[in-house]
Chains A and B, each alone.
Chain A
Amino acid sequence: MLITCPFCGPRDAAEFTYRGDAAPVRPAADAGEAAFFDYVYLRDNPAGPIREHWFHRAGCHGWVTVARDTRTHAIESVVAVEAAAVAEGGAR
């Protein structure tokens, strides 16, 4: 599997460390136990398109958001997490 890092170009997935589903967002500190349980443990685990975080450990040390299909490993897009957050209108 090749991941096209926005900074380094196409690189072997082995250069990256997987952090998992990008969907969960850390709740506010006072959000309560249920919200944190949901954030830490529960996953949609879709069979199909997923957005996920990868860390370019053996490259630029950038965090990227990868849009991938879990049924085929086909990658649709790779963007820096900052760019992904801005595109969503988030302020992360």
Chain B
Amino acid sequence: MTYSIASLVAGALTGHRHWKPAWRKPAPKPAYDIVVVGGGGHGLATAYHLAATFGIRNVAVVEKGWIGSGNAGRNTTIIRSNYLLPGNVPFYELSMKLWERQEADLNFNTMVSQRGVLNLYHSDSQRDAYARRGNSMRLHGIDAELLTREEVMARHPYLDYDNARFPIRGGLLQRRGGTARHDGVVWGYARAADRLGVDIIENAEVTGFLREGGRIVGVETSRGAIRAGKVGMAVAGNTSRVATLAGLRLPIESHVLQAFVSEGLKPTVDGVITFGAGHFYVSQSDKGGLVFGGDIDGYNSYAQRGNLPVIRDVCEGGMAVMPMIGRARILRHWGGIMDMSMDGSPIIDRTPIDGLYLNAGWCYGGFKATPASGMTFAHLLARDEPHPDAALLTLDRFRTGAVVDEKGMGAQPNLH
């Protein structure tokens, strides 16, 4: 069923009994051309692009839980392409362009809302750094505007401009940035991939790899063995665990990132605002809740729950930049597991093992990357060569020294 105004009206007139499951629940076939491990946004986007862009439809996605149960349902939904480095800028802009046509591509309302992403600055040096970032973006044809304090005031009058320690001097605005509905994104990709013949196999945890000679030729799962011409891993958070099954050690640590939602409020915060002095970012969901977060907890964790010091730190950041947030109650908060790479940038590459491909290390910026991650990983799987926009996101960059260190922090994951 293709969704449209006509189908909605027709369905409404017949009591909404026309809704069907958005994707099939197939049993795994014995073999596929390509098996993608991980049914999150990135894995599903990869499968979708394999079928839609590269014409490879004999594809399965194996997911240990159900679609939407992992980090896809645990993020703060921000989309943007305000990056600095050559390895990142074209990649995230590809993603932004794919977000802009996503609803038409997928025939699904993913609620892409380009309401602007504003990074505040508080000092001369920070202004210079943001000016440089904005220039880098504009050189790549990406929109960026350096706003003065007065221009920020006109957009967001409720911020604390005269904070004694962190007065707001202005901000870097990307108007094309914004938010999208995280659940809608995975459902949309799942449905679109399924319609192109991709088998989405839920509740199938990968427990090992099938090998012939030195080559990986499939996966062992809790629903049986599945052979594959190629296996692509997109299992953020569990990357090290799955890689260990293949005998692979990676430049990755798993850390927990917490996020928060307030009670529902009337429209208050227009756009996404980030506090440049601490680590705090906030937007308002379409349901009215303020969605906000800050740093990762900063130590290795698979617990999917956080600790109080970071909650306190995030709330302090919020109070410093937006004192009115103290009047809102936090409704809920949660923790997701990030695979933090050693330079803070992702890895989309072949592995040293024939037949096994890696999509990992998204740190806590994976959501905005979903469409381009799928497109470029599908390109790598289909053609065995990197997509030009992801060519620098290699696994061996750590060995060669060509790291993509966006924050200039060095080789420690909890600094990124």
For A18, list chain B residues within 8 Å (CB).
298-299, 414
For B309, list chain A residues within 8 Å (CB).
12-14
For A37, list chain B residues within 8 Å (CB).
398-399
User: Any chain B CB within 8 A of the CB of A43?
Assistant: yes
Give the docked Cα–Cα distance between A70 and B298 (Å).
12
Give the docked Cα–Cα distance between A12 and B414 (Å).
18
For B414, list chain A residues within 8 Å (CB).
18, 20
Asked if A20 and B412 sit within 8 Å, CB to CB, the answer is yes
Asked if A20 and B250 sit within 8 Å, CB to CB, the answer is no
> What does the 1/0 interface line of B209-243 toward A look like (CB < 8 Å)?
00000000000000000000000000000001100
> What does the 1/0 interface line of B162-198 toward A look like (CB < 8 Å)?
0000000000000000000000000000000000000
Give the docked Cα–Cα distance between A68 and B184 (Å).
37
User: Any chain A CB within 8 A of the CB of B252?
Assistant: yes
Give the docked Cα–Cα distance between A47 and B249 (Å).
14
Nearest Cβ on chain A to B316's Cβ, whole angstroms: 12
Among residues 5 to 41 in chain A, which have CB atoms less than 8 Å away from a CB atom of chain B? 12-14, 18, 20-21, 33, 37, 40-41
Q: Quick one: which of B254, B307, B411 contacts A73, CB cutoff 8 A?
A: B307
Asked if A70 and B254 sit within 8 Å, CB to CB, the answer is yes
Asked if B241 and A13 sit within 8 Å, CB to CB, the answer is no
Interface size bracket, B side: 20 to 34
Asked if A70 and B303 sit within 8 Å, CB to CB, the answer is yes
Q: Quick one: which of B251, B298, B301 contacts A42, CB cutoff 8 A?
A: B251
User: Any chain A CB within 8 A of the CB of B300?
Assistant: yes
Among residues 140 to 172 in chain B, which have CB atoms less than 8 Å away from a CB atom of chain A? none
User: Any chain A CB within 8 A of the CB of B342?
Assistant: yes
A-B pairs with the 7 shortest C-beta distances?
A14-B309, A45-B240, A41-B251, A47-B302, A41-B398, A18-B299, A42-B249
For B199, list chain A residues within 8 Å (CB).
none
Give the docked Cα–Cα distance between A45 and B235 (Å).
14
Give the docked Cα–Cα distance between A70 and B413 (Å).
16
User: Any chain B CB within 8 A of the CB of A1?
Assistant: yes
Asked if B307 and A20 sit within 8 Å, CB to CB, the answer is no
Give the docked Cα–Cα distance between A42 and B244 (Å).
12
Asked if A45 and B254 sit within 8 Å, CB to CB, the answer is yes
User: Any chain A CB within 8 A of the CB of B253?
Assistant: yes
For A70, list chain B residues within 8 Å (CB).
254, 300-303
Give the docked Cα–Cα distance between A37 and B303 (Å).
28
Give the docked Cα–Cα distance between A24 and B384 (Å).
34
Known: A14-B309, A40-B411, A41-B342. A72 touches B253 (CB 8 A): no
The closest CB in chain B to the CB of A34 belongs to B399
For B398, list chain A residues within 8 Å (CB).
37, 40-41
A residues whose Cβ falls under 8 Å from a Cβ of B:
1, 12-14, 18, 20-21, 33, 37, 40-47, 50, 52, 70-73
The closest CB in chain A to the CB of B342 belongs to A41
Give the docked Cα–Cα distance between A12 and B312 (Å).
12
Among residues 284 to 326 in chain B, which have CB atoms less than 8 Å away from a CB atom of chain A? 298-303, 307, 309, 312
Asked if B303 and A73 sit within 8 Å, CB to CB, the answer is yes
Asked if A43 and B251 sit within 8 Å, CB to CB, the answer is yes
Known: A20-B412, A37-B398. A45 touches B303 (CB 8 A): no
Nearest Cβ on chain B to A36's Cβ, whole angstroms: 10
Q: Quick one: which of B254, B342, B399 contacts A47, CB cutoff 8 A?
A: B254
Among residues 399 to 416 in chain B, which have CB atoms less than 8 Å away from a CB atom of chain A? 399, 411-414
For B301, list chain A residues within 8 Å (CB).
70, 73
Asked if A43 and B299 sit within 8 Å, CB to CB, the answer is no
Give the docked Cα–Cα distance between A33 and B398 (Å).
11
Nearest Cβ on chain B to A77's Cβ, whole angstroms: 16
For A45, list chain B residues within 8 Å (CB).
240, 250, 252-254, 300
Asked if B249 and A52 sit within 8 Å, CB to CB, the answer is no
Give the docked Cα–Cα distance between A40 and B410 (Å).
10
Nearest Cβ on chain B to A12's Cβ, whole angstroms: 7
Give the docked Cα–Cα distance between A37 and B402 (Å).
13
The closest CB in chain B to the CB of A15 belongs to B309
For B303, list chain A residues within 8 Å (CB).
70-73
Give the docked Cα–Cα distance between A52 and B300 (Å).
9
Known: A13-B309, A73-B307. A43 touches B302 (CB 8 A): no
Q: Quick one: which of B240, B312, B399 contacts A43, CB cutoff 8 A?
A: B240
Not counting A41-B399, A50-B300, a sample of 16 additional A-B residue pairs whose C-beta atoms are within 8 angstroms of each other reads: A12-B309, A13-B307, A14-B312, A20-B412, A20-B413, A21-B300, A33-B399, A40-B342, A43-B240, A43-B251, A44-B240, A44-B249, A45-B254, A45-B300, A70-B302, A72-B303
Give the docked Cα–Cα distance between A45 and B241 (Å).
8
Give the docked Cα–Cα distance between A13 and B303 (Å).
16
The closest CB in chain A to the CB of B343 belongs to A41
For B252, list chain A residues within 8 Å (CB).
43, 45
